[in-house]
Every structure is written in C-alpha cells, then in structure tokens.
Amino acid sequence: MRTLLFLGLCCAAAALSFFAEASYAQPRKRKAIEPMEQSPATVKSTKPIDVNRLAKQKQQELLKNPDQILNLAIAQYQGENYAVAESLLVLYGSLLQNEPLMRREQAQLMQIKTQVKLGRVSAAKAALAKARLEFSSETIRREADFDAAALEYQEGQFFSAAKIFMTVVGASWSPTDNDGLARRAAMHLYTLANAFLQRSELIELLVAAENPHLSILLLDAFLRRELASEHPAVDSLALVVQALETKHAAALAPAYRTTLASIQQCLLLARSGAARFKVGVLLPFTIDIFDGSDLPSLGEKMMQGIIQAVTAYHQLAVGRRMDVLIRSCATDDSLTLHTMLTDLIEHDSVNMILGPVYSRQAIHVSRICAEKGVPMLTPTATDEEITRDIPTSFQLNPTYAVRGKAIAEFLLQSLGAKTFGVLAQDSTYGKLMAEGFRDAVLAAGGEIKFYGILPTKLRGIAEALAPLKLKADPKKGFPETAIDAVYIPMSNFEAIAIAVEQLKFYNIKTRIIGSGDWHDPLLLSQYRAIGDSVIYAIDSNILPDAPETKRVTDAFKAQWGISPSLQFWFGYDAMDFIIATTLEKGITARADIARAIRSAPPYRAHRSEIFFGGGNVNLRMNVMKFQKGTITQLQ
C-alpha cells in the first residue's frame, strides 16, 4: 500500500497514453487536395474511423493485462470509487496465475480494504485475520497488521489496537527512519495511550515495549495521567523513570532525551508541591486503515501541538505545573457530553476546558460548562451560538461575523476608507461575514453605498446596485462611480468573476476586498485574469522563518520526522495562550480565568494575534494583499 502513490502515477500515465492514442486516431485538418480520379482500390477501402470502437478495443486490451488492472483498481480506490475498485480486483483475481507473489498479496490486501470501505467490515476482518498469517511479504504483512489495529480501534478494542500498533512500529524504529507506516502507527499508539487506555494496560505496554522511543512516548503518556491524579505516587514513578532511563538513554534520539528530561522536571515539580493547573482537553480522534499517508488525524495533530506547548513550558523549570487530561470527543449526544464533563469537572477538578473542535459539540459543551461555572475555550469552532450570552465561554477562531468586522476595521482605520459596497451570496457563511462587515462600517460612521445578498447561482449584480441609480449614456456608457472598497465574501470563482467583471461594466472604480477563501493558489491564479489586486483576511498565517516558529517546528520534526501541520498550530497556540494568560500569572480560580482571558492584552501567537478585547471571540485576523502574483501581509 505504500506503493499506492507510485502505482497511481503509473496508472495515470497509462490512461494518458490511451487517450492520447485515441485522439491521434481522429481525422486531422489538412491542406486542400486537388481532385483526382480515384482508383477502385481507394474507393473500396475508404471508411470513416470509429473513435468509440477504437477506444473500446483499447480498453479491452488494457483489461487483459493483470498488472494494468491492479493499477487501475488502486487508482479507483484512491479516488474513493470503491465499488469500481472491487470489480477490477475481482477481475484481477481471475487473471493473476502468473503474477508475482507480492503483487498478488497486494491485490488481496487491497480487496480487504475495499470491503471495509464498502461497509462489509465483518467479512473484511475475517479475511484479514487469515491473510495476516499467510502473507509472505513483510511489507504487506505489516500494513495488514496496521489495518487490523485500525479495525480493532473502530470496534472499541483499544488495548488490542495498541498492542498491534506496537508490533507495526517494531523494536528499531526511530524518528529519523523514512517509514511512514511505522510513524503513523507510533502516533496512533501515542493517542491511545493519552486518551483511551486504562492504567493497567499502559503499565503492561510499558513492560513489553522494546523500542526505546516507544518506551518514552508511553512513559510520557503514563506520567501525564498519573500526575493528574489527586495523590500521585511520585517516588514509585521516579523509580520507573530511572529504570527506563538506565535501559534506553544511550539509544534515544536527542528529541526523546529532551522528552525524558521534561518528564523528570514534572516529577520534581510534583514532589515540590508546585501549584497545579488542570485543563480538560476534548478532541475528535479517528483511526482508519492505512491509505499511504503518514499524516495523523485532526485530533492527533491538535493533541501533539497541545502537548508540545506544555512540554516547552515545563522545560523552563518554573514553579507551576500544567496537567492535561485528554478525552475523545466524537459525539454530538448531549447526555454523553454531560457525563464526560461532569467527570472532568467534579472528579478531576479541572480548572477549564479546551475544546471541542466542532461547533455542534462546542455549543453543548459551552452550555454545560456555563451551568457548572467552568471556563471553556474552543480553538476552532466558529458558530456564534457557542458564546452567545455565555460569559465563561471563548472562541479562539473568529466567528464569520467577526471576520467581516475585522477586515472592515482595517479598511476604516488603516486605509481611511469611508464608502463601501457589499456583494455576498445567500445560504453561505459569506452572508454572515457581510453582516459583520456592514455593522462595523455603520458603527464607525462609514457609508454603505450598496448591499446585495445575491442568489447562490449568481447571474448578475444589477439588483444589488439599484441604490446607486446608475444610468448609462447611449454613447459613453455608465459614468464613473468611485467607491473606496467593495467587499465580496464569496468562495466560488465563477461567482467572483461575475461580480468583478460587472463592477467594471458598470464603471465602478473601487478596491476589491475578498474573504479568507480567496487565499487559495488556484483561485488567486484565476483572479489575475480579471483583477489587479485584492485584500482579504485569513485566520492563520504561519511564518516558518520566524525564530520561535522555527524552534517549535524543529522540535516537532526531531520527535516525529515530519513538519507540523496547520492543525498542530491550532492546538499549540491555544495551550500557549492559556499558559501565558493564566498559569504564568498564577491565576487558577475559574472565575478569574474567564476574566483574565477576556481582558488579556494582544498576544502574538504563531497563527495570528489573539485579542478578545473584553468579549468572548478573538477579534484578530491576518490581513493579506495579493498583487501581481505576490502575497504580502498588511496586518
């Protein structure tokens, strides 16, 4: 399966070759030929070329080649056309007698994966159990083991999944290895250890672990959970740490020696009775069968960012301790969420909640936390209902209305704009951004010249421009109308193109303002054909060469062998902000935490600045300008 990308490319090349040949078979235009007397042979052989018949013949020839069939099946699987992939794999099975053994085993595993995707999990599990014993290729067997672990996780068998993932990682894996399968298995094992496994299960894994780096990851998760308890057995834990250090220190990569040092620092803080700050973290975790990628799931990425921020804080040898209790939050059921939060708040006595990630869950959690007087901060959810009339809940990711407000305030304050137009589409979040933009302009004394909420299937903007009372001269066309800026929070380029071109048609001279969806290479490339420049606001703009960002990135790469994703930074920035705003100031009381977040001065994080300005929603966005193919940050 790790050859999926390569095989997919082979398949694409074969398909391109096929269509190229089919196109060459069509009649080409040529210079006129003088009429001449045709011979009987010429008349007899003249027939129109049937392109469809040639294409069908080519396809039939292709499907007689087992290797090509398997490549096509893999390509269909990657394109999520699982039923087609299965039919091709069945066809391959009827022609595979002379195929290499590894290819046959690969096809067998692919067919099992396809069964899983088509919902036939029981049959897939039975076939996988048999195949794992029979596969001769170690590479394919390891991937089959990975898939078996993923299926165990999906059925709630977390300990069984963890044990299988540990065998996939093996005894010799290190972060410098270019082994995406092992890396992803290690990440999944780390997730299970932090959020799913019981204490006794973690101890059993620690005893069984032969890989030095896995031992440290398991120890890190075990200590995090043990030290969060009311009366941790610090002396016993110190003996465990000392034993593992003696056993593995010489074989550890530098990043894992740093993790071990952080663990020891936490033990010192626990022994000294340092002040504790507990955060309950709610994240969505998913573990699926291997797809060729070594990237973790959304919840895992954010968890890694949160943990790394805590580790960096503890390395400062400060007199306070941050305890993190991580829980899986993958349901919208209010009763389940209530039970989970009650346990964290009443049993574990957390100071605050970080999460959830999605708005539907965050709305429920916000209301429950408000009932119990516990502050909550969601790092990503954007629905305004999360914080509406709830003073203890906060949104780090600006709502859509705030996004519109942020770009309006930039135009008013930084560019001195006074007159504005708005073109948005109904039934989209662009409508919410338009409302926030309009309200901010009017509150500041600006003037909205026109405000159009247009149909989703946009055909024109004439109705929106009606307040301008434009009249065209029969000879000269529309007179010039100057407006400082027109805000177009649309995401579909076709609609954007219609709006921009018709503004030109009506001779409206203005500055075009887009939304965060415009921060897309393809869209901006298309926009260059119709506009000179555009200003827009985005919630995240990572500057990889910034010293602190580079330090955090290097630390992550040293631990995992890959660069952190954007979701990592959502987790890192959220925890870093909590630490700077509360823990470093000695603020632990729940009511004081909410006040501290609300009144905190602007805080420069990695994604953007964070500033609540006395409210419950982060007000800061990164303002960008695209001009002549170059993107620059204005604010």
What pLDDT, on a 0 to 100 scale, did the predictor assign at position 468?
96
Does position 48 have pLDDT exceeding 80, yes or no? no
Give the separation between CA 184 and CA 190, rounded to whole angstroms.
Answer: 10
pLDDT tens track for 1-35? 444 444 443 444 444 343 333 333 333 333 333 33
pLDDT tens-digit profile of 323-332? 999 999 988 8
Rounded Cα gap, residues 443 and 617, in angstroms: 18
Q: What global pTM score does this model have?
A: 0.87
Residues 567-579: what's their mean pLDDT?
98
Taking only the tens place, the pLDDT of each residue in 67-115 is 889 999 999 999 999 999 999 999 988 887 788 999 999 999 999 999 9
pLDDT in tens, 443-494: 999 999 999 999 988 999 999 999 999 999 998 999 999 999 999 999 999 9
| Percent of the chain topping pLDDT 90 | 76
DSSP string for 139-196: HHHHHHHHHHHHHHHHTT-HHHHHHHHHHHH-SS--TTS--HHHHHHHHHHHHHHHHT
How many Cβ atoms are within 10 Å of 341's Cβ, its own excluded? 24
Name the pLDDT band for 428 (thresholds 50, 70, 90): confident
Whether 192 and 173 have beta carbons less than 8 Å apart is answered as no
Helix (H) or strand (E) holding 486: strand 481-487
At residue 542, the pLDDT reads: 96
- Which of 51, 52, 62 lies closest to 18, judged by CA? 62
Cβ–Cβ < 8 Å for 323, 339? no
Distance, in Å, from the CA atom of 267 to the CA atom of 281, rounded to the nearest integer, reads 22
Beta bridge partners of 630: 627
Instruction: For residues 539-561, give the mean pLDDT.
Output: 96
> What is the number of other CB atoms lying within 10 angstroms of the CB of residue 439?
15
Scanning 63-157, the segments in alpha helix (DSSP H) are: 66-78, 82-93, 101-117, 121-134, 138-154
CATH class of 275-397+544-616: alpha beta
Of 28 and 59, more confident: 59
Which CATH architecture fits 4-22+52-134?
Answer: Alpha Horseshoe (1.25)
Is 278 a residue whose pLDDT tops 70? yes
Of 453, 448, 534, 450, the closest CA to residue 497 belongs to 534
Q: Tell me the pLDDT band of 403, cut-offs 50, 70 and 90.
A: very high
- The pLDDT value given to residue 230: 82
The pLDDT assigned to 38 comes to: 42
The phi and psi torsions of 450 (rounded to 5 degrees) equal: -155, 150
Q: Are 255 and 291 in contact (CB under 8 A)?
A: no
Least confident of 422-426, 437-441, 521-525: 521-525
pLDDT score for 60: 58
Q: What is the pLDDT of residue 53?
A: 64
Mean pLDDT of 280-290: 97
CATH superfamily of the domain spanning 400-538: Response regulator (3.40.50.2300)
Which element (helix H / strand E) includes 450? strand 447-454
Mean pLDDT of the chain: 90
Report pLDDT for 148: 98
Work out the average pLDDT over 336-350: 95
